[in-house]
Amino acid sequence: MSEQTVYPVSPAQREKALLTKEQYQVMYQHSLESPDEFWAQQAQRLTWITPFTKVKNVSFDKQDLHIRWFEDGFLNVSENCIDRHLVERGHETAILWEPDGENVGEKDEARRITYQQLSSEVNRLANGLKSLGIKKGDIVTLYLPMVPEATMAMLACARIGAVHSVVFAGFSPEALAGRIEDGDCRYVITADEGLRGGKHVPLKQNVDEAIALCPAEQVNNVIVLNHTGGEVNHQVGRDIDYHDLISQQSDVCPPEPMNAEDPLFILYTSGSTGKPKGVLHTTGGYLLYASMTHEYVFDYRPGDIYWCAADVGWITGHSYIVYGPLCNGATVVMFEGIPTYPDIGRAARLIEKYKINILYVAPTAIRSLMAAGDAATKNSDLSSLRLLGTVGEPINPDVWRWYHQAFGRGECPIVDTWWQTETGAAMIAPLPGATDLKPGSATLPMFGVQPALVDEKGIELHGATHGNLIIKDSWPGQMRSVFGDHQRFIDTYFSTYEGSYFTGDGARRDEDGYYWLTGRVDDVLNVSGHRMGTAEIENALVAHDSVTEAAVVGVPHDIKGEGIYVYVTLGHGFEESEALRLELIKWVRKEIGPIATPDLIQWAPALPKTRSGKIMRRILRKIATNEFDSIGDTSTLADPSVVDDLIVVHNKMH
């Protein structure tokens, strides 16, 4: 089937959905022509403590870069996500939590948390944090499993104006230590253990190891949630039990009035060079943009049961498990485990159990379910589903069609949402009642978003074409800085194409103006929807005694989307061996985390380099994927014979 197959908006969708095609077009035009008026109207969805008088104050000029939205307004994010819902829906469910293990009947350990309960828990924790001396502007590291307390901890920070820095619980002690140190964090909230797919993850132990790697006296307190009851070390004076901390606290903690441009959180993400960047998001614009896109893209209506299967450790979890949906008063399903445990039918059983209406997952999860044919869905009633979504990487049209049939009965629209940690929330995505769908395309821009395609020189390309994706003007959910390194923010995003935000992605635009994302144009991998810089993995490898040089490239992978192919040059006195290969794989897992596990390590006596010493990854990618005929020009290499040697080794391995 051609990629041009169109799935038009059905008459039923058109009638029921929040916005029609005509409404989308009118609103989109309005958002570009009168941004101040458009966003001032949209901002009415938030509760302001002090209303703003200014809307947008932005310059993308790198000499005078500034991005400010609603800059004289004050509000509190937790008040918007909790307090204002209490009168009308205090007894309605905010979080439906499903544990990793699947217990049914009386043993079911699932939790249902109403907005009233969420309020009480968040206020008590907020008071507990205050009692430790944590105050507005302090950065708190959260290293937590997928439990409601993760949401509560984020909201408790927001309530008192502390800035959270959530670190994915799959990251290693080394990676955690780097993030604690970079943020100069004095406080960590963690749990004894996490549980995922039946495996225990030693979170507290990892925190202990991380702190040992930090400068002495970096961390004042570690708050430890008793989740699995696993044995953990307790350091008197430093470690505090989560429940002890909150048990005596009042459930009233007045929300701290925050300026719209005060920081809300930092979240680390990989770039093409150097260590991970602390992406800084602020209060007003971020919340507004997360809330607005959650409503329109998911066509969310009160009463819907909504499941975003991301982890809170990623931006998708921040914007679409916590801030967007709770700001809209939604009922959010939160799942601790993985969709294939204890078996391939788990995700579908969850949909049936909670009568989920909206499902939002990454293509990598869909591919792993699809690998088992119809076993993933055949035993469950999925008729509650009304809308499907995807995020994190391009979705292959065949996978799109399988998802549409197997989960969506051929009826549910799929919203393929393109966005980034940096953009805060969805940027290019269909609206279910407005946008005809094409499998594999993220379709059209969200309100206020002006995408454009440019060539290598930065010349804008028009019509149906492909190029590098930039965004020409600001939107409220945009990141404001790289924590502690504003110059890096300017250099990374505003220097490649002057006057515009550079996404790092390539894209094609078809004759209908639809965008088709084609992947990163920089040295960033996308493994199972998780971003990883090739440099990060290379740095980890080179940190091993035996390795003098390493080069990492992405290769197509059936389930993960992109697999990690590593070339390693050993130092003198080190022998190539299977044992060393396994040791290096283990080493990378330890340095970064299991998500960075190399799929293949090839020994490379030398790497192809230009005369200026730049590794030619393009060539390494071709070798890794057996495309020897299209390796292209090697004449600029310092030593072209290196390439033939690598091909010989590669062929021996396969």
Residue 276 beta carbon to ligand 6R9: minimum distance, rounded to whole angstroms = 11
Residue 351 beta carbon to ligand 6R9: minimum distance, rounded to whole angstroms = 21
**Tokens read off for 287:** 């919340």
Q: Any contact of residue 442 with ligand 6R9 (CB under 6 A)?
A: yes
Residue 133 beta carbon to ligand 6R9: minimum distance, rounded to whole angstroms = 33
Piece of 73-81, 500-508, 626-634, 645-653 that binds ligand 6R9 (CB under 6 A): 500-508
Sign of the torsion angle spanned by Cα atoms 440, 443, 445, 450: positive
Q: Which is nearer to ligand 6R9, 348 or 507 (CB)?
A: 507
Residue 143 beta carbon to ligand 6R9: minimum distance, rounded to whole angstroms = 18
DSSP letter string, 539-551: HHHHTSTTEEEEE
Q: Which is nearer to ligand 6R9, 285 or 561 (CB)?
A: 561
Q: How many CB atoms lie within 10 A of CB 374?
A: 12
SS3 625: coil
Q: Any contact of residue 315 with ligand 6R9 (CB under 6 A)?
A: yes
Residue length of the chain: 654
With CB under 6 A as the contact rule, the residue among 281, 531, 560, 609 that binds ligand 6R9 is 531
Q: Which is nearer to ligand 6R9, 122 or 399 (CB)?
A: 399
Q: Which is nearer to ligand 6R9, 531 or 650 (CB)?
A: 531
Residue 66 beta carbon to ligand 6R9: minimum distance, rounded to whole angstroms = 23
How far, in Å, are 282, 392, 529, 622 from residue 419 at the CA level? 17, 8, 12, 28
Annotated ligand binding at 505? The verdict is yes
Q: Any contact of residue 95 with ligand 6R9 (CB under 6 A)?
A: no
Piece of 10-18, 164-172, 233-241, 415-423 that binds ligand 6R9 (CB under 6 A): 415-423
Annotated ligand binding at 205? The verdict is no
With CB under 6 A as the contact rule, the residue among 117, 141, 269, 291 that binds ligand 6R9 is 269
Helix (H) or strand (E) holding 263: strand 263-269
Q: Which is nearer to ligand 6R9, 336 or 505 (CB)?
A: 505
Annotated ligand binding at 589? The verdict is yes
With CB under 6 A as the contact rule, the residue among 421, 468, 474, 478 that binds ligand 6R9 is 421
Q: Any contact of residue 391 with ligand 6R9 (CB under 6 A)?
A: yes
Which distant-in-sequence residues (6+ apart) come within 8 Å of 112 by Cβ? 93, 95, 96, 97
Distance CA 545, CA 572 (A): 11
Query: In the stretch 331-370, what mask flags binding to ligand 6R9 with x, by CB under 6 A?
Result: ----------------------------------------
Helices 173-182, 578-591: inter-axial angle, 10-degree rounding? 30
Residue 316 beta carbon to ligand 6R9: minimum distance, rounded to whole angstroms = 5
With CB under 6 A as the contact rule, the residue among 78, 123, 331, 526 that binds ligand 6R9 is 526
Q: Residue 35 is which amino acid?
A: P
Distance CA 502, CA 522 (A): 11
Residue 307 beta carbon to ligand 6R9: minimum distance, rounded to whole angstroms = 17
Annotated ligand binding at 393? The verdict is yes
**Tokens read off for 468:** 């590098």
Q: Any contact of residue 504 with ligand 6R9 (CB under 6 A)?
A: yes
- Upper half-sphere CA count for residue 55 (Cβ side, 13 Å): 15
Helix residue ranges per DSSP H, 2-147: 11-16, 21-33, 35-42, 77-81, 86-89, 115-131
Q: Which is nearer to ligand 6R9, 377 or 441 (CB)?
A: 441
Q: Any contact of residue 311 with ligand 6R9 (CB under 6 A)?
A: no
Piece of 87-95, 193-201, 392-400, 586-594 that binds ligand 6R9 (CB under 6 A): 392-400
**Tokens read off for 241:** 């039990």
Helix (H) or strand (E) holding 6: none
Distance CA 426, CA 291 (A): 11
Q: Any contact of residue 517 with ligand 6R9 (CB under 6 A)?
A: yes
Distance CA 281, CA 527 (A): 24
- Judged by CB under 6 A, the number of residues near ligand 6R9 is 22
Pairing status of strand 56-59 against strand 66-69: antiparallel
How far, in Å, are 272, 595, 639 from residue 524 at the CA level? 5, 14, 26
With CB under 6 A as the contact rule, the residue among 255, 278, 392, 424 that binds ligand 6R9 is 392
Distance CA 136, CA 503 (A): 31
DSSP letter string, 390-424: EESSPPPHHHHHHHHHHTTTTTS-EEEEB--GGG-
Helix residue ranges per DSSP H, 463-516: 486-493
Bind-site residues for ATP? 392-394, 416-421, 505, 520, 531
Kindly list the residues in this chain that would bind ligand 6R9 in the complex (CB under 6 A). 269, 314-316, 391-394, 416-421, 442, 503-505, 517, 520, 526, 531
Bind-site residues for Mg(2+)? 542, 544, 547
